[in-house]
Structure 1
Amino acid sequence: SEDVVVGDILILEAGDKVQADSRLIEAREFMVDESLLTGEVEPVVKHAAAIAKDAVIADRVNMAHRGTTVTNGTARAVVTAIGRDTEVGEIASLVKETREGETPLQTQLRKLSRILAGIFVAIVVIVFVMGLVIRSGQYSTIELFETSIALAVAAIPEGLLIALTVILAIGMQAIVKRNALVRRLLAAETLGSVSVICVDKTGTLTEGRMRVTRLVTAESNFDYDELRLVKLEKEDKYPDALFALRIAALCNNAAVREVPVDGLAPQFFGDTTETALAETAWHAGLRKNELDDVFRRVHELPFDSRKKYMATLNHVDHEARLHVKGAPEVLLKRSAFFEKNGKRHELSEHQREWFFKAQESLAGEGLRVLALAYGAAEPGQNELSDKNVHDLVFVGLLALSDPLREDVPETLGLARNAGIHVAMITGDHASTARAIGRSIGLSAKKENVITGEELAGMSDDQLPAVVKRATIFARVNPKDKIRIVQAFQKNGEVVAMTGDGVNDGPALKGADIGVAFGSGTDVAKEISDLVLLDDRFSTIVSAVAGGRTIYQNIKKVVVYLLNSSFTEIVLITGSIIGGIPLALLPAQILWINLVEEAFPTMALAFDKGDRENMKKPPRRKGAPIVDKQMKIIITIMSAVTAMTLFALYFWFYRATGDIALTRTITFVALGINSLFFIYPIRSMPRMIWQMNLFDNRYVVYSTLFGVGILAAAVYLSPLQLLLRTVPLNLAHWFVIFLFGMMNIGLIEAMKGIFLSRMRMPKRLTAL
């Protein structure tokens, strides 16, 4: 390809990979696999005739593009573009130009960190100044400085970064179990924000392979299941259907490799349409290899895009027979008879019209329709020409489709319930795309379908308003896909885009979540954020559910850590205002934040999430992690905890006058409270008794471990020296645990009031 320049003449034949974009000047039965560019699995029939100047890639039938593969025939073409100027080269340039933006989580955390930093710096300064001015002489400057620094450390949730990493990593593992591989850590959370899924039809909504869906003859009409279950070798019952499938197997170039296991279907290789025909015949009891041995082929007229049929000449015993398959309108015009109940009848205009209507009905369902016919040849005839293909006996119609995956309609319903807009993107014509859309439950009205030609006529400013109503994009090219993604993003949507080829690169990179197929190209998988290991649309929706669970757990951790931080601030501030010794020492504050709360926050990563997650709309793009409802929750819970804890501290200090004992009790009570507090957080937005407290064993383990290290902090001499704690007796522990339970009861009571008055289950849609 390095030696090819514009103006060179390329000689192309089956098996060649096209080295440059080229205009065909001669073509004979020429077909090209353009799935690299269009994503469609069916080879495209090419010719050298002129076409419209503004035709989309899928309609440029007189062009051979770089990177595509010739599947049939021969051609000569003049090179029109090389390197970066080819369609593949322009796609590569688009990939480089497309920038990856910040994930929603990155944006929200950056905003949250700025807000918290401002609040906590102000609080620390206020605490330090209050200690110096209001209680001058009661606290030493060093003591106030150390406490202020400790408060600053405590106020900023240091454990958040570790907890986020653990939650995202555990979430990624959970998503892998759903047959999806997350390639970037932060993308695991972004999945939960997805509000639009732009999904390729081929291979995701469909199985990515052709199969025979219907068989129509003058005396029978079989659907897919009947074709697989009914053995048509019972010739006396289904003679016409048997004849049609015999023609489909004989007028066929698929290769067959038998499997040495009885009952298992052989492997079929070749053109996807022909392998589908051969496989259907096999299921009906007609083995292609056996038929080829009996009906020996002596000559063939390959499929021609102008004649639109393929014909073979076969000898059986001393008889020569012509077998033909092709476009229904062509074969009906060349037929003088039709087959019914195993007998030949004259093809009247009425019967011809009947077959035409049957063909139109099948095409209206989005199916590809082929006609099958046969004719007589002269005994001993060994060659065929177009002149021989006349006065045929029309046998029937075969309809093929890339079958829809069985779970697609149900999965679309789940996505709809979750408030996710699904848009199908396909290279099919609008009529075919509309039929497929209707069959899976997408709105397929005229205003919901946008074609590549219509997209080309719209500016980037017009497109965002148009895509709001779009559910189907037909006949699109790679440049259209990235424009579609950007238009949705301008509407404030978080977009997931699927793709499997080089042509999908720009859109995969530009989308908030690029979704590649496991069977796709390495280029697509390298660019993507998510790889579907089973290529199923249902896996995308399942991964979104996993992303929502991740975000829910992140919010739990944020509430948990901020509650503790605010509680500590209120305790220290209250001590200064009350003119009593500080309730906690700097080392004790750091112990609670860095040691005591580390394991519970990581344990929250294993929460399975709310079962109602996928019945709520996705959170709004740009919505803060700490929204209005969360601020109210944190304020209520922090206030209740801080007031009860301060009351405990004040009561013990006044009763005993022993500041070391009082601080130890306050320290342990704060630690126990932080361990207990995880349960009201986990139960949001329900009451604590409405959930299974033990369904996350890691939370239980972390609670027990937390109590253990608190005991170590009280009874081990090195830790006593570090934290300035003293041993506690059983009565002290009883009071501390009783305080913890009472505090949880108060929090639940306040939560219940808030839930009932504010209708929390509906308003806390994101928690």
Structure 2
Amino acid sequence: MSEAYYRKTPQQALEAQQSASTGLTDQEVASRRQQFGPNKLSEGKKKSTLQVFAEQFKDLLVIILIIAAVISALSENVESTIVIFAVLILNAILGTVQYLKAEKSLESLKAMSSPTAKVLRGGARVEIPSADVVPGDIVLLEAGDMVVADGRILENFSLKVNESSLTGESEGVDKTEEAIDADQVALGDQKNMVFSGSLVTYGRATVLVTGTGMNTELGKIAALMNQTQQRKTPLQQSLDDFSAKLAIVIMAICALVFALSIFRTGMGVLDSLMFAVALAVAAIPEALSSIVTIVLAMGTQKMAKQNAIIKDLKAVESLGSVSVICSDKTGTLTQNKMTPQKVYADGSLLEGDDLELVNDVQRLLLKAALLASDATNNEETGTSIGDPTEVALVMLGEKFGVNEESYRAQHPRLGELAFDSDRKLMSTLHDIDGVPTVFTKGAIDVLLDRSKWLLTREGKVEMTPQRKEEIARVNMELSMEGLRVLAFAYTELEAVRPLTLEDEKDFTFIGLISMIDPPRPEAVQAVADAKRGGIRTIMITGDHKVTASAIARQLGIFQDGDQAVSGLELDQMSDADLDVRLDKISVYARVSPEHKIRIVNAWQRKGKIVSMTGDGVNDAPALKKADIGVAMGITGTEVSKDAASMILADDNFATIVKAVVNGRSVYANIKNAIQFLLSGNTAGIFCVLYASLMGLPVPFQPVHLLFINLLTDSLPAIAIGMEPARKGLLDQKPRDPKTPILDRTLLGRIGGQGLLIAIVTMIAFYLGWQGGDAVLASTMAFSTLTLARLFHGFNCRGAESIFRLKLSTNPASIAAFFAGVVLLALVLFVPGLKDLFLVSPVFTLANLGEMVGLALLPTVVIQIVKLIAGFGKAKD
């Protein structure tokens, strides 16, 4: 059955509407899945493996190495030429494999955060992955959902959809179920259709799927697009800039060394070229880019295992700088398991279990609670669908044996005004004993202002100021206990007709139902940990200010001297006033989307890096505005997930703090890996420059330096990237994002440690040079530099000494060291490899002992310095 069948035939759509109560059978689903395929968009033409491989040779530093290989060939150093090209090809293969792995990881992350759809299948309402939706499915849309397929609207309840992804118009489009021929009107005017990729911003609807995958309007756009490359992170851009500048410096120094070798030392052209080649190879950190990518990839995988799914790689770097977390309360700081508590009706405040359904007011309150909500709860399976607040109302009915579905079937919904955060109300129309009755639930302050009467067991009485004051007092009492309170009211219409916002007035007030969402136990500790790490936690919620403050105090967010501000109070503040009070405000209550953006803006004006959490449609603008937008993976709407840069798979605030720690750890590991790689390269540069200036033979062959940079150095650098997060990370203040990764302190360490390694390397060179044997001297220098850099890997694991870090905490570092030693031993003692790497045939065990002792010396010195510094800090 074709997509056009569903879209163009109103009569068939009406027939489908009549059968919409059951949905497709399993056989129909299987048949259509086979016919139409999965509901996925083609990602355009992907790069072939060969293209990816070829791109590995575009880097300027790689080009310099290719030039070095050519020069090596001209000097008849065939072995070095072969090894340089072999290593370049190996590096290109590794880069290609890493690219393909990254693509695969990205696809798996996309799958973890892909949209789901609520559909009718075999008479039951089920939630399925968007890829499993097929033409003919009946999809149930609600505010906050992403539309996962094109479809014709069968039933419409004030549906409004944002179609900016298709039309470019940001204003929402009101929808209708009236039949319109899709080929006769423009896309934006097809009011009876919804389109894949658009976002439901208001209301709800029942939709018949007409097109999936590439057969959607979004699919037509996807067919015209080529694959978009992922943007580089700020760290990667910084390293690319560093590499470009380094390449220019290398070429300039190589030219200088070449000139000095010829004119000052009288070397031949080929020997001088070999000096220049050796210097170029020594200076180029061939593994730097791939190491950073690998460390970032390992960091994101670790975060994913801890329920923090990173959508945007730069979020990993930014996490270490977060200094303010603006967190939604419900489900993030609390358990998102609302349970009914006290009830106020007919002038009495009762426990929920003590309701008496013989009381007309209490019975009507329960009826209004069940009818003016959409949630369902399955006691047998323990699963519920819907807003947690509405689930609590359903649970209240179940305490008295009232099944919400059968109850709603007795009083069908004839009209609806869906809830939105601006009105703070939801209204539904029903036939109650032949009278069209509108039940409304929402914020107590809004409903009290719109109520003219109060329902009592004697009937309706006038809502006097005194009665309003009494109800407000009860609400305040409940709120002070940290309870969330919903108010209920009703009004009667003369006849059944479409509801308008004008109908939400002249209410008869019924009563209050309170509920509680208890704080997560782990959130209390997480807030304390964040505070210790210099991170301020701010609660932003739609609850009443008093309720929010009570919960915030339990969590440790609200302290003595702190302030709580409502959205109304925030409106009365100028930006200057807000800036003055900002540091004192810990709780924002009854806020709108505009308020959330304003709060984020205010903190950013102070130079803070802000993380914002949220799960609703109204949170999306603030999530986008924040430096790190964090969406809820379980309760979050697709709109919020789309706007966020990180998704919490467990909706837990504690996971944010873990992610911040991991972000700090990843950045520290990258910095330590860079220190390790560049300090080793600096040692090689010093050695080559010294030999050139002193007229000594070249201390290393290019093949020696490539072996060190790409093989023995890569393993310890990756191991450093696997260093576990240290407890002390939360004792540090957030990192200033403006501070460059190669700051003066790091450059000083790189230079100092590189000089230390260079000194012992040149001592080894002189030991081998005593008899005038240049090959033995080169072998001794190469072996000492290799082993010294392997030992140096332990120094770069962290700022503390290895005795405090302990070898056992990072087994990968030990494995990397021994793997490097084995590789070096193979080069020194295996006959074929000895010839390939130009190892001296007279290299003895005595030379080996000298080399090991010298190679260990820099690490001993560095560890002694760290111990002394550690003792100094301990005394402080």
Per the normalisation by structure 1, the TM-score is 0.68
Q: Is the 8 A contact 2:250 2:283 kept in 1?
A: yes
Q: Is the 8 A contact 2:397 2:404 kept in 1?
A: no
The equivalent residue for 1:525 is 641
Counterparts of 1:623 and 1:256 in 2: how far apart (Å)?
A: 50
Q: Spell out, residue by residue over 1:637-688, the C-alpha distance to the aligned partner (whole angstroms, 9 max, x if none).
A: 222222222222213322x332211211211111111111111211x22211
SS at match of 1:204: coil
The equivalent residue for 2:307 is 179
Of the three residues 243, 261, 283, the one matched with 1:131 is: 261
Of the three residues 658, 678, 686, the one matched with 1:570 is: 686
Counterparts of 1:118 and 1:256 in 2: how far apart (Å)?
A: 65
Counterparts of 1:242 and 1:579 in 2: how far apart (Å)?
A: 106
The equivalent residue for 2:856 is 741
Q: Spell out, residue by residue over 1:693-730, the C-alpha distance to the aligned partner (whole angstroms, 9 max, x if none).
A: 13333322222221222122223444333332124333
Cα distance, 1:193 vs. partner? Answer: 2.4
The equivalent residue for 1:556 is 672
The equivalent residue for 2:660 is 544
Tell me the amino acid that sits aligned with residue 425 of structure 1.
I
Q: Is the 8 A contact 2:145 2:639 kept in 1?
A: no
* Higher relative contact order (CA closer than 8 Å, sequence separation 6+): 1
Structure 2 residue 799 is the aligned partner of structure 1 residue 685: yes
Cα distance, 1:365 vs. partner? Answer: 5.0
Counterparts of 2:761 and 2:725 in 1: how far apart (Å)?
A: 31
Q: Is the 8 A contact 1:36 1:501 kept in 2?
A: no
Counterparts of 2:441 and 2:790 in 1: how far apart (Å)?
A: 75
Residues 113-262 of structure 1 correspond to what in structure 2 (within 5 A)? 113=243, 116=246, 120=250, 123-134=253-264, 136-137=265-266, 139-208=267-336, 210-214=338-342, 249=366, 252-253=370-371, 261=380
Cα distance, 1:565 vs. partner? Answer: 1.0
Structure 1 residues 154 and 481 mapped into 2: Cα distance closer, same or farther (>3 Å)?
A: farther
Of the three residues 225, 239, 257, the one matched with 1:109 is: 239
SS at match of 2:301: helix
Structure 2 residue 815 is the aligned partner of structure 1 residue 701: yes
The equivalent residue for 2:650 is 534
Structure 2 residue 829 is the aligned partner of structure 1 residue 715: yes
Counterparts of 2:549 and 2:863 in 1: how far apart (Å)?
A: 53
Structure 2 residue 542 is the aligned partner of structure 1 residue 414: no
Q: Is the 8 A contact 1:167 1:554 kept in 2?
A: yes
Cα distance, 1:162 vs. partner? Answer: 0.6
Cα distance, 1:593 vs. partner? Answer: 1.2
Structure 1 residues 580 and 483 mapped into 2: Cα distance closer, same or farther (>3 Å)?
A: same
SS at match of 1:497: strand
Cα distance, 1:211 vs. partner? Answer: 3.1
Cα distance, 1:613 vs. partner? Answer: 1.2
Of the three residues 711, 718, 735, the one matched with 1:619 is: 735
Counterparts of 2:404 and 2:570 in 1: how far apart (Å)?
A: 50
Counterparts of 1:299 and 1:36 in 2: how far apart (Å)?
A: 24
Cα distance, 1:530 vs. partner? Answer: 1.4
SS at match of 2:631: strand
The equivalent residue for 2:778 is 663
Q: Is the 8 A contact 2:623 2:630 kept in 1?
A: yes
Structure 1 residues 211 and 642 mapped into 2: Cα distance closer, same or farther (>3 Å)?
A: same
Tell me the amino acid that sits aligned with residue 165 of structure 1.
T
The equivalent residue for 2:838 is 724
SS at match of 1:666: helix
Counterparts of 1:525 and 1:269 in 2: how far apart (Å)?
A: 19
Q: Is the 8 A contact 1:196 1:422 kept in 2?
A: yes
SS at match of 1:184: coil
Residues 225-304 of structure 1 correspond to what in structure 2 (within 5 A)? 249=366, 252-253=370-371, 261=380, 273=389, 275-280=391-396, 282=398, 286-289=400-403
SS at match of 1:612: helix
Q: What's the RMSD between the two structures over aligned residues? A: 5.2
Q: Is the 8 A contact 1:191 1:547 kept in 2?
A: yes
Structure 1 residues 272 and 258 mapped into 2: Cα distance closer, same or farther (>3 Å)?
A: closer
Q: Is the 8 A contact 1:552 1:609 kept in 2?
A: no
Q: Is the 8 A contact 1:636 1:750 kept in 2?
A: no
Of the three residues 440, 446, 450, the one matched with 2:555 is: 440
Cα distance, 1:576 vs. partner? Answer: 2.9
Counterparts of 1:398 and 1:89 in 2: how far apart (Å)?
A: 29
Structure 2 residue 747 is the aligned partner of structure 1 residue 631: yes
Structure 2 residue 718 is the aligned partner of structure 1 residue 602: yes
The equivalent residue for 1:62 is none
SS at match of 2:807: coil
SS at match of 1:514: strand
Cα distance, 1:512 vs. partner? Answer: 2.8
Cα distance, 1:555 vs. partner? Answer: 1.0
Unaligned stretches of 5+ residues in structure 2: 1-6, 8-19, 21-140, 147-157, 159-170, 177-187, 190-197, 203-229, 418-422, 434-438, 460-464, 490-506
Number of residue pairs matched by the alignment: 630
SS at match of 1:559: helix
Q: Is the 8 A contact 1:214 1:400 kept in 2?
A: yes
SS at match of 2:808: coil
Q: Is the 8 A contact 1:492 1:621 kept in 2?
A: no
Counterparts of 1:550 and 1:280 in 2: how far apart (Å)?
A: 47
Cα distance, 1:311 vs. partner? Answer: 12
Structure 1 residues 324 and 36 mapped into 2: Cα distance closer, same or farther (>3 Å)?
A: closer
Counterparts of 1:606 and 1:471 in 2: how far apart (Å)?
A: 37
Give the % identical residues.
30
Q: Spell out, residue by residue over 1:411-462, the C-alpha distance to the aligned partner (whole angstroms, 9 max, x if none).
A: 2212111112233333455555445444433348686637377469746x88
Q: Spell out, residue by residue over 1:195-248, the C-alpha distance to the aligned partner (whole angstroms, 9 max, x if none).
A: 2223333443345564324457999975xxxx7xxxx6xxxxx68799898776
Comparing 296-305 and 494-503, the one that deviates more: 296-305
Structure 1 residues 493 and 353 mapped into 2: Cα distance closer, same or farther (>3 Å)?
A: closer
Counterparts of 2:358 and 2:392 in 1: how far apart (Å)?
A: 16
Tell me the amino acid that sits aligned with residue 578 of structure 1.
M
SS at match of 1:199: strand
Structure 1 residues 608 and 331 mapped into 2: Cα distance closer, same or farther (>3 Å)?
A: farther
SS at match of 2:800: coil
Structure 1 residues 290 and 108 mapped into 2: Cα distance closer, same or farther (>3 Å)?
A: closer
Counterparts of 2:377 and 2:427 in 1: how far apart (Å)?
A: 31
SS at match of 2:476: helix
Structure 1 residues 750 and 310 mapped into 2: Cα distance closer, same or farther (>3 Å)?
A: same
Q: Is the 8 A contact 1:107 1:622 kept in 2?
A: no
Tell me the amino acid that sits aligned with residue 158 of structure 1.
E
SS at match of 1:626: coil
Counterparts of 2:376 and 2:412 in 1: how far apart (Å)?
A: 23
Residues 284-433 of structure 1 correspond to what in structure 2 (within 5 A)? 286-289=400-403, 334-335=455-456, 357-365=473-481, 367-369=483-485, 398-428=513-543, 430=545, 433=548
Counterparts of 1:475 and 1:198 in 2: how far apart (Å)?
A: 15
Counterparts of 2:783 and 2:201 in 1: how far apart (Å)?
A: 65
Counterparts of 2:780 and 2:631 in 1: how far apart (Å)?
A: 56
Q: Is the 8 A contact 1:418 1:617 kept in 2?
A: yes
Counterparts of 2:794 and 2:297 in 1: how far apart (Å)?
A: 23
SS at match of 2:327: strand
Tell me the amino acid that sits aligned with residue 849 of structure 2.
F
Comparing 323-332 and 687-696, the one that deviates more: 323-332
Counterparts of 2:598 and 2:303 in 1: how far apart (Å)?
A: 29
Structure 1 residues 159 and 248 mapped into 2: Cα distance closer, same or farther (>3 Å)?
A: same
Q: Is the 8 A contact 2:376 2:404 kept in 1?
A: no
The equivalent residue for 1:376 is none
